[in-house]
Amino acid sequence: MPMREVFAQAGSSVLARADLTTLAFAPGATESVIGRFYRWMATNGLEIVIWILGGILVVRFIRWSAQKFNDRIEAKFHNSDLIVQSEDSKHRRAMIDVVSWTLVVVVGIIVFLHILTVFKVPLSGLVGPTAVVGAALGFGAQRVVQDILAGFFVVAERQYGYGDVVALTVTGNGEAEGTVEDVTLRITRLRTSEGEVITVPNGQVIKTTNRSKDWARAVVDVPVPADSDIGVVNEVLSEVGQRFYNDPYWHDLLLDAPSPLGVTNLELDSMTVRMVTRTLPGKQFEVSRALRAWIVRALARRGINVASGKEVQAGSAPPSGHSEADAQASSGGDK
């Protein structure tokens, strides 16, 4: 091809592009683009905004309804004669949290898919990219799926619910202890005695210890000198247990009278006598603290002191922060 024709075609192409650029920035073309944008905003854009606002309102309504149901359960408990919440009420609160969380996720997915259809993104065309993304995120997503499945069984099997005192053995991180404040399909949120909030993914829990389901046991170990008369010690503990059970305040927290089990440990200079009783769920720590104070005073009146260098111990570690106050509050109960 002659060079003259080549340059002629190149020049024509440049002029054509220049004409297109000129048309794009011409006043009429700009107005046309703005007009199309306004038309899109008045139709598709407005629809997207309405769906987003509607989704937000639905989510707020779901959370408001869940809070109303929880408040109703709480008010029913406070207006009743019950000292602790029943297992059914704790399970209902856990179910409300799980259902509300699930509904929020479903609403978010529906709004997202509808926005894609407004943008005319074919959902069938997303199958391939979704498979690729799913494979890429598979290792990360499998943990989320594991958490959700574990959370489903936590709720379905009633392992624990709102207000339960639990100890969760977590993979690689020891134990997490506290009061259950929130249960969803993915996480469990605990509040410790120091006020800290612990969030545990349900899939990482390998063992659950519920210290407030149906009933609890208060265990108090009493170390006394080795030369003490064990018959007298058991007699004093039995009397204390009966008086403690007959006390109007503590009677409502107990399911049976505290009683001595006998000697559980022998040392050169001391022996340990164990005392046990069943309590309402979650009240074993309060009962243990008060019962220790009653035991120490009763033994002192009979001339028996706690073994030197020993302390009256509870069988399980309670949430700290109340021992001194409870001991002072219970000091007037054993006259």
Q: Tell whether pTM > 0.75.
A: no
Q: Please state the rounded mean pLDDT for residues 215-242.
A: 87
Report whether pLDDT(83) > 70: no
Helix, strand, coil % (nearest 5) of the chain? 55, 20, 25
Gap between the Cα atoms of 218 and 259, Å rounded: 11
> What tens digit of pLDDT does each residue of 135-154 get?
555 666 678 788 888 888 88
Contact 279, 218 (CB under 8 A): yes
Report whether pLDDT(190) > 90: yes
Report the greatest alpha carbon distance in the chain: 126
Q: Give me the pLDDT at residue 334, please.
A: 47
Q: Give me the pLDDT at residue 61, please.
A: 92
Q: Please state the rounded mean pLDDT for residues 179-188.
A: 87
Gap between the Cα atoms of 259 and 276, Å rounded: 6
Q: Give the side-chain half-sphere CA count within 13 A for 264.
A: 14
Contact 327, 298 (CB under 8 A): no
Q: Please state the rounded mean pLDDT for residues 121-127.
A: 63
| Sole residue written with tokens 């856990």 | 94
Mean pLDDT of the chain: 76
Structure letter (DSSP) for residue 45: I
| Ordered structural domains, the chain, with CATH | 1-121 (no CATH), 154-210 (2.30.30.60), 216-330 (3.30.70.100)
| Comparison of pLDDT for 123 and 236, the residue scoring more | 236
Q: Give me the pLDDT at residue 84, please.
A: 59
Q: Give me the pLDDT at residue 308, please.
A: 56
Q: Give me the pLDDT at residue 35, please.
A: 66
Burial category of 57 from C-beta neighbours within 10 Å (exposed 0-12, middle 13-18, buried 19 and up): exposed
Q: Give me the pLDDT at residue 87, please.
A: 64
Gap between the Cα atoms of 169 and 200, Å rounded: 10
Contact 107, 55 (CB under 8 A): yes
Q: Give me the pLDDT at residue 58, please.
A: 92
| Sole residue written with tokens 């046990």 | 276
H helix intervals, 193-267: 230-246, 248-251
